[in-house]
Amino acid sequence: MALRDHVIAGYAETKIVQKSERDVYSLMGEIMDGLLARTGFEKRDIDGMILTPSLSAASTTFWAQSAAEFLGLELKFADTTDLGGCSAAASIVRAAAAIDAGLCSTVLLINADTPTVDYRFSNYSFHDEWADPYGLMGPPGAFGLLSRRYEHQFGLDYDMLAKLAVTQRDHAILNDNACEKLRRPITREDYHASRMIAEPIRLLDCVMPADGANGLIVTRRDIAKAQGLSRFIVPTGYGELTNLGGGTSLVDVTQSGHRVAGERAFAAAGLRPQDIGSFHPYDDFIIAIMIQLEMLGFCGHGEGCAYVRDTDFTYSGDLPLNTGGGQISAGQAGFAGGGTNLIEAVRQLFGEGGARQVRNTSSALVTGIGWIPYARNWGSSIALILEPDA
């Protein structure tokens, strides 16, 4: 079977909350109930489940099993996609592979995290020896260095980053599920005046930690139709790359694996960047959005600022960008944040965007970024193209 022979039958999402004080398993139960109610499936119909990691709960080595126990599911297939911010979108393809292999037929995908309640992240690889002791201070420090390198190579118009920040914030204001603290308008002047975190990264470049959950049901097309579902979303193109330049000692940190991942996704879908109806990139930092635009072929390498200047990214514009606000303006719900932009893409393709509904629902491009290794760009890059069922 081809990837496009599988469908996303439904989606669910909780509100993103700055500090929920809820148990992560409770959020998972809310997502499962929402998915079953939307699609009409019963719990007994779910025979597969794939989870993303969870900063608050996945430190247990029995993460998938304990979740199945809590949710009362009997499964033929259970797994965790361990690709950080790529995990949510990558789980769709892994669900399709499991279905193709005959391991299961209807898969529950859940992304849930409450890092403000309980944070259990531990870094590894070269960080402890080479990066953290010198005051890198985590992702803001890494993206500060990346931004400086980009500026050195190509120049960097920070007002174009401000434009992206304002656009996403305007979208979050229209999103009832966005974190309330962030549903306030900002201007470009606000962006430039926000305090410095790790030069040149400012507060409004960064995501805000929050709690939340989201999820999908992936199944075969014939099962979805037998269930009486007349509308569903189809994954038509996918690409993935981990550890770009892993065999070399010196890499260009302004390049990411999205170039390779994007080429594969576009080729499989039979589309070009200019065909995309809406763009939902992983956005832990504003500069990451612009780099992805370059790597995915919307513009040339180093031409991101000019492209941003000439493009309308509003929900009614040329290339609607993270129409739910993205993680930066909706809140980053830990590793579940990788599903925030994915769910928004699915919502738009269902035509359920409400006040922020895009005009072109022919396709949507979703990306992921996973982990920040030492002296390289982000560790994993994915590109996923979705289309409504024809």
**Strand ranges across the sheet with 364-370:** 77-80, 48-51, 106-113, 212-220, 6-13, 233-242, 380-388, 364-370, 278-280
Residues forming beta bridges with residue 20, ordered by sequence position = none
Q: How many CB atoms are located within 10 Å of the residue 145 CB? A: 17
Q: Do residues 347 and 388 touch, judged by C-beta distance below 8 A?
A: no
Q: What is the pTM of this model?
A: 0.96
Residues forming beta bridges with residue 17, ordered by sequence position = 211
Residues near 181 by beta carbon (within 8 Å), at least 6 away in sequence: 18, 208, 331
pLDDT in tens, the chain (390 residues): 589 999 999 999 999 999 988 999 999 999 999 999 999 999 999 999 999 998 888 777 889 999 999 999 999 999 999 999 999 999 999 999 999 999 999 999 999 999 888 777 776 667 677 667 667 778 898 899 999 999 999 999 999 999 999 999 999 999 999 999 999 999 999 999 999 999 999 999 999 999 999 999 999 999 999 999 999 999 999 999 999 988 887 789 999 999 999 999 999 999 999 999 999 999 999 999 999 999 999 999 999 999 999 999 999 999 999 999 999 999 999 999 999 999 999 999 999 999 999 999 999 999 999 988 777 788 999 999 999 996
DSSP letter for 113, please.
E
Q: How far is CA 363 from CA 167, 359, 385, 388, in A?
A: 20, 11, 7, 7
Q: Do residues 112 and 17 touch, judged by C-beta distance below 8 A?
A: no
Please name the amino acid found at residue 77: F
Q: Do residues 296 and 286 touch, judged by C-beta distance below 8 A?
A: no
pLDDT at position 390: 64
Q: Do residues 178 and 324 touch, judged by C-beta distance below 8 A?
A: yes
pLDDT at position 1: 59
Domains of the chain: 3-119+209-226 (3.40.47.10)
278: Cα separation from own chain's centroid: 14
Residues 310-336 as b or e (16 or more Cβ within 10 Å = b):
ebebbbeeebbbbbbbbbbbbbbbbbb
pLDDT at position 162: 98
